[in-house]
Amino acid sequence: MKRKKQMQTVVLYTSLILLTFIFLFPLIWMLVSSLKNEFQIFKDMKSLQAFLPPAPSEVEGGYFQNYIAAFQRVDLLRYIINSLIYTTGIIVFGLVVNSMAGYALARFRFPLAGFWLGVIIATLIIPPESIFLPLYVLVYDLGWVNTYTGLIVPFIANAFAMFLFRQFFLDFPKELEEAAKIDGCSQIGIFFRIIVPLSKPVFATVAIVLFINHWNDFLWPLVVASDESMRTIQIGLQYFMNEPPIKWGQVMAALTIATVPMLLIFTFLQRYYVQGLTHTGSKN
Amino acid sequence: MSGNSSSAKSLTSDRTPSHTRRPLQKVPSPKKQKRRKSQAFQEAVTGYFFLAPALILLGVFLLYPMGAAFYYSFTDFYILKPDDISWIGLENFTYILQDAEFRQAFWNTVYFSVIVVPVQLAVALVLALLINKKIRFRVFFRTAFFSPVVMSLVVVSILWTFMYNPNEGLINQLLGLVGIQPQPFLTSPDQAMNSIIVMSVWQGAGFQMMIFLSGLQNIPNHLYEAADIDGASSWQKFLHVTLPGLKNIALFIFITISIAAFKLLVQPMIMTQGGPLGSTKSLVYHIYETGFNYRDVGYASAMAVVFTVIVLVITIVQRVLVREERG
């Protein structure tokens, strides 16, 4: 009996370690290869040395030469700034517009309120991929191609975010708002001065969901930001893969750079992200 | 949470001073009626003030393009001749039936979805069950399984393209260590889609694992205790307590993965450009190429309409199944 249990433990931990290797080895290889020169990358790949960082004696010209070369070859900094402008724009305007809409749907009684809620939920089913072409024609006609406006404005309104805000505000106690009303505070004042400061968790969740979705965006920036100076990081990465000479170390350095912001978000704010997703998961 | 809100609501209605409520229950005086009406009007104005920005943006950038896609699908709209649009009826739709590339892209997408959805669901469930056991270093293992989610689909696709490199790639080197011949992976029509599938499951499973984990933690402990008292084996407990407890969350994940799988685009676009021999061309990729590379907006829109209908059907069928399961 005891031996059977020991066997089970051994099997359990062996499979856990094997799975850990399967899920981690590409990431580790990417990180350590970004620190090596081309010759060393190919030499190390023949053994498990592929997953170990280079020994200090083998590094000529510093660990970060691939990173420096990557920044010199294309305007990576510009791509990162573009990505940050794009995501920050969507987050800032998105938080205001969607929280207001969520509040309206949670609190006020007005004609067609139920109808609009239905429309907003229905738009969740529309695959964004199916409207990109006419959306591009529209943005083109507005003269917004290769502008931040064209990148940001179409994605400010977000049905999913409105839905999250509405769920949160439905659970929000009404007494505070009523007390403020008696004190003569206007509805707009109540919302921005009382509701918003007390709703930090839902704002954090929506902000993180929006950041992750749009930092990783590919199709829309690809078609709207065709100009090199407007490229986002996800589009810029392809340069290292397609334009010769293809240097594996530089590719890995560029991929690592594109991953750092996501890594920071998940390390410090994962709780909010998972909260938001499981919240909707269980409610649906 | 919902219990909280209902108690809050009843609290507020109880708090309404009774002397103001009582007269309203009788026939209100005309003056009061007027005031009530103007209050309702004010509430409607405020409501629309809060909702309007979102509605306008949704209308312009989501509903209008949807309508436009529908309209374009009956025309020969070509981007280089925007002023010369003519109505061609169902011609685009009848062409879809003859378009061999569309058929190939459709079946590629179906193949991808039919394999990715159950495999990813199963992998995510196994990972969640392992993590949910009483193990040491739980946080480490959970973080490890979740780590691919941190990388964007673009990053992952580029990284795996290098790993799949038939001559110098990491995977063939690792296979060589255990004595397996080098494989062609993305360069072979037989292996390219399967290589993309492996990568996609690897990237996505950790995310669904997290959702499963929150589901597992919501299964009340007393159910397991009761099963223990009845002398149930761990397999029986899994079958009769764990699985039923996860049903709703599994169905939710099933729906999200199916829809996401049907939208396959980034992986083939970056890794194979739809090749070799069109073996990884997906439906959305075919629509993208027709619209943006060949500029045939009319035909691309017709395919987009068909694509939307397919996604809607998947969603509705699954929703109905979920409801029947629950009812």
Q: Which residues contact B148 (CB under 8 A, 6 or more apart)?
A: A23, A26, A27, B156, B202, B203, B204, B206
Calculate what percentage of chain A has a pLDDT beyond 90.
Answer: 50
Are A259 and B151 inside 8 Å of each other by CB? yes
The pLDDT assigned to A277 comes to 63
Interface of A with B in 44-103 (CB under 8 A): 45-48, 50, 96-98, 100-101, 103
Residue B283 inside a domain? The answer is yes
In this predicted structure, the answer to whether residue B135 has a pLDDT above a threshold of 60 is yes
Asked, for residue B170, whether it belongs to a domain, the answer is yes
Do B225 and B98 belong to one domain?
yes
Residue B79 forms part of a structural domain:
no
* A83 and A55 belong to one structural domain: no
Q: Are A128 and A245 within one domain? A: yes
Contact A284, A216 (CB under 8 A): no
Both B181 and B216 in one domain: the answer is yes
pLDDT score, position B316: 86
Nearest CA in chain B to A152: B61
What's residue A39's pLDDT?
87
Mean pLDDT of chain A: 88
Does B310 lie at the interface with A, CB-CB under 8 angstroms?
Answer: no
Cβ B54–A98 below 8 Å, yes or no?
yes
- The answer to whether residues A128 and A158 belong to one domain is yes
Tokens found for residue B141: 């293992």
Stated as kind and residue range, the H or E segment containing B51 is helix B30-58
**pLDDT 10s digits, A252-270:** 999 999 999 888 888 888 7
Looking at the structure, tell me whether residues B52 and B104 fall in a common domain: no
Q: Does the distance separating the beta carbons of B307 and A157 come in below 8 Å?
A: no
Q: Is the model's pLDDT at A115 over the cut of 90?
A: yes
How far is Cα B288 from Cα B72, in angstroms, rounded to an integer? 15
Among A131, A152, A165, pick the best mutation site for testing chain B contact (most B Cβ within 10 A).
A131
Interface contact A50-B65, CB threshold 8 A: no
Q: Test A134 with B65 for CB contact under 8 angstroms.
A: yes
Residues B161, B275, single domain; the answer is: yes
Q: Per the domain annotation, does A267 fall within a domain?
A: yes
B151 interfacial to chain A (CB closer than 8 Å): yes
The rounded distance, in Å, linking the Cα atoms of A19 and A276 is 27
Provide the shortest C-alpha distance from residue A210 to chain B (in Å).
14
Question: Domain containing A200: what range?
Answer: 72-283
The CATH number of whichever domain residue A171 belongs to comes to 1.10.3720.10
Number of domains in chain B: 2
Are A210 and A269 contacting, i.e. CB atoms less than 8 angstroms apart?
A: no
Containing structural domain, residue B64: 2-72
Last residue of one domain, picked from the residues A16, A31, A62: A62
Mean pLDDT over B206-225 rounds to 88
Whether B120 contacts chain A with CB within 8 A: no
In a domain, A124, yes or no: yes
How distant is the alpha carbon of residue A24 from its chain centre? Answer: 20
| Residues of chain A contacting B146 with CB distance shorter than 8 Å | 266
Which of A152-161, A237-246, B272-281 is the least confident region? A237-246
B3-56 pLDDT per residue, tens: 343 333 333 344 444 444 444 455 556 666 777 778 888 888 889 999 999 999
Do B148 and B67 share a structural domain?
no
Label residue A46 by pLDDT band (50, 70, 90). Answer: confident
- Same domain, yes or no: B233 and B101: yes
The mean pLDDT value for A52-68 works out to 83
- Are residues B51 and B115 both part of a single domain? no
pLDDT computed for residue B8 by the predictor: 38
Per-residue pLDDT tens digits for B295-308: 889 999 999 999 99
Average pLDDT over residues A218-223: 93
| Mean pLDDT, all residues of chain B | 86
Question: What mean pLDDT do residues A182-210 have?
Answer: 87
In contact, A32 and A53? CB cutoff 8 Å: yes
CB contact under 8 A, A171 and B69: no
B81: pLDDT strictly greater than 80? no
Residue A41 has pLDDT above 60, yes or no: yes
Examine residue A139 and state whether it is found in any structural domain, yes or no.
yes
Residue partners of A24: CB distance under 8 A and separation at least 6:
B144, B147
Is B127 an 8 Å CB contact of chain A? yes
Tell whether B47 and B114 lie within a shared domain.
Answer: no
Q: Is residue A46 part of a domain?
A: yes
The answer to whether residues B37 and B107 belong to one domain is no
Q: Which residue has the higher pLDDT, A56 or A141?
A: A141
- Is A168 in the same domain as A119? yes
In a domain, B272, yes or no: yes
Q: Which residue has the higher pLDDT, B284 or A284?
A: B284
The residue among B15, B41, B72 that closes a domain is: B72
On whether both B68 and B177 belong to a single domain, the answer is no
Q: Which residue has the higher pLDDT, B157 or A271?
A: B157
Token pair belonging to B28: 């209100």
A153 and A240 together in one domain = yes
Statement to judge: residues A45 and A100 lie in one domain: no
ipTM of the complex: 0.90
Produce one character per residue of A134-155: b if its CB has 16 or more CB atoms within 10 Å, e if not. Answer: bbbbbbeeeebbbbeebbbbbb
A231-240, B24-33, B183-192, B274-283: range with lowest mean pLDDT: B24-33
Residue A167 lies in a domain: yes
At residue B218, does pLDDT exceed 80?
A: yes
Domain boundary among B14, B44, B72: B72
CA of A250 to nearest chain B CA: how many angstroms apart?
12
pLDDT at res. B283: 95
B124 and B51 in a common domain: no
A130, B40: Cβ pair inside 8 Å? no
Q: What is the pLDDT of residue A249?
A: 92
The residue-averaged pLDDT of A232-250 equals 90
Name the 3-class secondary structure at B75. Answer: strand
For A127, phi then psi, to 5°, come to -70, 125
Nearest to B8 among A19, A174, A281 (CB): A174
Question: At B240, which CATH number?
Answer: 1.10.3720.10
Q: What is the mean pLDDT of residues B89-115?
A: 93
Model pLDDT, residue A276: 66
The domain boundary residue, chosen from B44, B72, B100: B72
Residues A141 and A249 occupy one common structural domain: yes
pLDDT band at A280, cuts 50/70/90?
low
Q: A267 and A173 share a domain?
A: yes
Are B107 and B6 members of one domain?
Answer: no
Total domains present in chain A: 2
pTM of the model: 0.88
User: Could you tell me if residue A157 is inside a domain?
Assistant: yes
The predicted pLDDT at position B2 comes to 37
Nearest CA in chain A to B154: A234
Number of inter-chain CB pairs under 8 A, A vs B: 260
Give the integer Cα–Cα distance in Å for B222 and B290. Answer: 57
